[in-house]
């Protein structure tokens, strides 16, 4: 469906686009870079604390639960958590003061692009390592008779599946938002030297 837009509406849109693409002051780029770096640091700390908690809980399960599948599943979840934490550390955009000092705009763009790629592939490196352990653990739960029927097990297995789907979708959305920031940054014109970048 197409709507006819009058000339005043077109001029208004043009002015809005010009305002959105106004050159950014160097201080604002530096502030955005610092805020982004703080956000990434907070997120990583939260993930490492969650990994420690998962390690503690599933370590206790491995020690106290009698069923071999539950023990193996617990150990696999711990290994999956360590792999996830290692991948997070490896894939995260790390501070580089030399690159930031050389060209803060390019540095900020690189940081955004690194995080965007990482979030877009979260299913492989974040969720993937946890699936084998959870599958074995849940098979152990099914074997111990914790479910009345196959349908009961499927309903129980749907809970982590929906959680994983939600995590994947939220991260894909965050990756799309970072892609939009990158596109916006690419569209902002360079400014005269000295005042803005």
What total number of domains does the chain contain? Answer: 1
- 1 part of a folded domain: no
Query: Residue 13 above 50 pLDDT?
Result: no
Q: What is the pLDDT of residue 196?
A: 42
Q: Which two tokens stand for residue 186?
A: 């690419």
Name, in order, each residue with C-beta under 8 angstroms of 176's C-beta and a sequence gap of 6 or more: none
**Nearest to 191, CA basis, from 77, 23, 56:** 23
* Token duo for residue 190: 């360079």
Cβ(111)–Cβ(117) under 8 Å? no
CB 194 within 8 Å of CB 23: no
> Which range of residues forms the domain containing residue 40?
10-187
Q: Does pLDDT of 69 surpass 50?
A: yes
Residue percentage of the chain with pLDDT more than 70: 82
Flag whether 28 is in a domain. yes
In a domain, 197, yes or no: no
Q: Is the pLDDT of residue 145 over 70?
A: yes
Q: What is the DSSP letter of 124?
A: I
Query: Which of 140, 121, 174 is CA-nearest to residue 70?
Result: 140
Residue 5 within a domain: no
25 three-class SS? strand
In a domain, 71, yes or no: yes
173 within some domain? yes
Question: Does any domain span residue 116?
Answer: yes
**48 domain-assigned:** yes
pLDDT at residue 156 in the model: 81
Average pLDDT, the chain: 84
């Amino acid at each position: 469906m197409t709507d006819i837009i009058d000339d005043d509406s077109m001029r208004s849109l043009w002015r809005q686009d010009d305002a959105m693409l106004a050159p950014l002051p160097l201080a604002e780029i530096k502030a955005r870079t610092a805020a982004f770096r703080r956000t990434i640091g907070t997120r990583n700390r939260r993930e490492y604390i969650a990994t420690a908690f998962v390690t503690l809980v599933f370590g206790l399960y491995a020690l106290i639960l009698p069923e071999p599948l539950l023990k193996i599943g617990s150990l696999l979840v711990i290994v999956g958590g360590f792999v996830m934490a290692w991948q997070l550390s490896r894939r995260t955009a790390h501070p580089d003061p030399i690159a930031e000092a050389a060209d803060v705009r390019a540095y900020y763009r690189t940081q955004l692009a690194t995080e965007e790629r990482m979030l877009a592939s979260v299913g492989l490196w974040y969720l993937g390592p946890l699936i084998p352990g959870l599958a074995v653990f849940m098979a152990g739960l099914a074997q111990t008779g914790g479910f009345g029927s196959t349908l009961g097990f499927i309903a129980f297995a749907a809970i982590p599946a929906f959680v994983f789907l939600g995590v994947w979708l939220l991260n894909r959305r965050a990756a799309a938002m970072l892609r939009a920031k990158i596109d916006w940054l690419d569209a902002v014109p360079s400014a005269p030297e000295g005042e803005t970048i």
